[in-house]
Structure 1
């Protein structure tokens, strides 16, 4: 009998992925973790019944969460990744040779270990890079207590349920602001606006308490059901999200980074939002 994984994120909408082979199924210290193979999307990582990433389309999410803020900043040397236990975000950030240090704070060591074992293509050696400092602890506690400062903070969180809920609060965003250098940028995973509109509204209001310039940008990721995904953007320097394509290209081309989704034109265009998303920013 064919086994199917049915996502349980929404009570009124579901997606199913065929399970061709289960590689790992167990409960970590914090979450239920399943890794399985699917003919179309390759290896799939799920937590608490929700698809987190797949080999087939992870590049969209990781490229857009990493390259947009780093290129926009223009001089990022220290980057903080909160979450991202699969290693894909660290992989993309470390492609920037000018980045001197990446601190990755992940609450669940089990996600890191199982991803390295069963999804090695996502991290692609990132955990062996001497510039990466892996810290296993709660991300909200880390930003509340650390004395380190960062040019870019990438919040690669799960949805605002379970362990990820604290990473969507006004207090957390204020602590992120405290950890930034002048002109720093925070980007956040903000769900799919067509089916998770409250995440956009809540983040708009909560980020706005700490940052002068708050916006969102979007990318299309097939296995994040309901349409394109929104990423939150927060900085005190409005100019950093308003570079034209020529300026972005001038920064991007010398880097020599190979991508499958991100381009300077996509970078500029992704900040253009449809009316229904603008209406959520209230």
Structure 2
């Protein structure tokens, strides 16, 4: 999908379908784990950044545009938030946002690549923050597909899928079988949240993710926002639930608890983000 990354002088570029998305700065580290290529880059605009398989994943000064939008529509709305499952999320940002809620009792963070966690802790410590030392966070260095397949029914109040583009280790995180297993282990009244790519740069992948979730769950809706370092800058997150669209109605007590510590997310922002679905996406999703 994004086949190559290169440096020219002090620029680092991600290439996607004839367009490049680059930052100015300095290469800190580049290595290959048993699962993927990992790059740490220090940019002048957004601070230190992480790339996996030559794709921008996160950066210190833009990560809240992604993590707050993935986490809070799910946790502010789910019936209960005692037990949380995060698949991926090795930079620690999703766990940090979940741990803002005092109601959260336990988080299983299942990351396949230990090196992503190790390097994030070392080079991007502000993203995970205090999450790494919080006793409620339980790291599981395992395959997320297998974890979900083997988990008991009704195990989690919220499931967060914080994976990379659907290539390499993250490819199966968007499959029908994996998402069906997620539904099985999600408690009634719970919410599933997943990043769902750019409706501009990954148009068909984005549409397919939403359609698969609508086949499996009673309700699934995409939400849109801006993540400047990602291809096109326009990004999406999709939320799913059974019975009714739980993710549409934040609980006031939770909003009051965490909103003062958010830079992007708010109840008003969330409402608008669900309503700005592009017309061509809405038409595609309406097709049977």
Query: TM-score surpassing 0.5?
Result: yes
Find out whether 1:182 has 2:188 as its counterpart: yes
- Equivalent positions of 1:225-244 (< 5 A) are 225-243=231-249
1:68 to 65, 73, 76: 73
CA distance in 1: counterparts of 2:238 and 2:27, whole angstroms? 33
| Map of 1:96 onto structure 2 | 101
1:280 to 252, 267, 284: 284
Moved over 2 A (4+): 20-23, 247-251, 254-257
Give the secondary-structure state (helix, strand or coil) at the position aligned to 2:87. Answer: strand
| Map of 2:151 onto structure 1 | 146
Shift of 1:208: 2.3
CA distance in 1: counterparts of 2:93 and 2:243, whole angstroms? 27
Find out whether 1:167 has 2:170 as its counterpart: no
Q: TM-score, normalised by structure 1?
A: 0.93
| Map of 1:259 onto structure 2 | 262
Q: 1:195 to 1:264 in 2, by over 3 A?
A: same
Find out whether 1:7 has 2:14 as its counterpart: yes
Shift of 1:141: 1.0
Find out whether 1:40 has 2:16 as its counterpart: no
Do the aligned partners of 1:74 and 1:251 also contact (CA within 8 Å) in 2?
Answer: no
Shift of 1:255: 4.3
| Map of 2:205 onto structure 1 | 199
Q: TM-score, normalised by structure 2?
A: 0.92
CA distance in 2: counterparts of 1:249 and 1:85, whole angstroms? 30
| Map of 2:116 onto structure 1 | 111
CA distance in 1: counterparts of 2:94 and 2:254, whole angstroms? 20
Do the aligned partners of 2:78 and 2:191 also contact (CA within 8 Å) in 1?
Answer: yes
Q: CA RMSD in A?
A: 1.6
CA distance in 2: counterparts of 1:151 and 1:144, whole angstroms? 17
CA distance in 2: counterparts of 1:37 and 1:252, whole angstroms? 34
CA distance in 2: counterparts of 1:200 and 1:23, whole angstroms? 32
Do the aligned partners of 2:199 and 2:207 also contact (CA within 8 Å) in 1?
Answer: no
Structure 1: 5+ residue runs without aligned partners? none
How many pairs align? 277
Give the secondary-structure state (helix, strand or coil) at the position aligned to 1:15. Answer: strand
Shift of 1:262: 0.6
Give the secondary-structure state (helix, strand or coil) at the position aligned to 2:77. Answer: helix
Structure 2: 5+ residue runs without aligned partners? 1-7
